[in-house]
Amino acid sequence: MTKEIWLNLPVKDVLKSRAFYEQIGFTFNPNDNPYDSTMQCMFVGQKNFVVMLFPEETLQKFSRIDLNDRSTTSQFLISIDAESREEIDHLTAKAKAAGATIFAEPEEIQGWMYGSGFTDLDGHRWNTLYMDHTKMPKE
């Protein structure tokens, strides 16, 4: 049986990416060398979902296929569950201040969700979402 799952993200500069994610509030494995430019282990959320940051060329060797051009294509959207609308606003502001491109300003969605979206330094798309289940439409 599978023990864990984590996401490997290709980045142009591991240490710049670490600084970006620290600015928006993500944490890193305290047992790792914070100056290691070959990889960084980032934790996301209350359950410490692991996101590994690798140089693009390293991840390309691991995957044995070319990486996509993230300025024109995307293979996935990384979603973050928030506890409130205010948390969405705060995270969006922090991401923007850290150098992210906001592709979706915070807004209400379908009357029961509130979210936004940003692109990190390497073109990965992140979606932040707060869901108020008390307002979710009943079928």
**Which residue type is seen at 4?**
E
Specify whether 53 is located in the same domain as 14: yes
Specify whether 133 is located in the same domain as 81: yes
Residue 57, domain member (yes or no) = yes
Residue that is written with structure tokens 């980032």 in the block: 42
More confident residue, 127 or 4: 127
Choice among 48-57, 59-68, 128-137 with the minimum mean pLDDT: 59-68
- For the chain, the C-alpha Rg in angstroms (whole number) is 16
Residue 59, domain member (yes or no) = yes
- pLDDT at residue 10 is higher than 80: yes
Specify whether 35 is located in the same domain as 6: yes
Last-in-domain residue among 18, 33, 63: 63
Residue 69, domain member (yes or no) = no
pLDDT grade for 78, boundaries at 50, 70 and 90: very high
Specify whether 89 is located in the same domain as 45: no
Q: The CATH number of the domain where 41 resides is what?
A: 3.10.180.10
- pLDDT at residue 68 is higher than 80: no
Specify whether 2 is located in the same domain as 34: yes
**pLDDT value at residue 71:** 77
* Structural domain boundaries, residue 2: 1-63
Residue 21, domain member (yes or no) = yes
- The interaxial angle of helices 14-23 and 85-98, nearest 10 deg, is 140
**pLDDT value at residue 73:** 75
**pLDDT value at residue 84:** 96
- Could you tell me whether strands 40-44 and 49-55 are parallel, antiparallel, or unpaired per DSSP bridges? antiparallel
- Could you tell me whether strands 6-11 and 49-55 are parallel, antiparallel, or unpaired per DSSP bridges? parallel
Specify whether 105 is located in the same domain as 128: yes
Specify whether 51 is located in the same domain as 107: no
Residue 42, domain member (yes or no) = yes
Residue 71, domain member (yes or no) = no
pLDDT digits (tens, 9 = 90+) for 14-49: 999 999 999 999 999 999 999 999 999 999 988 899
pLDDT digits (tens, 9 = 90+) for 80-131: 999 999 999 999 999 999 999 999 999 999 999 999 999 999 999 999 999 9
The tally of domains found in the chain comes to 2
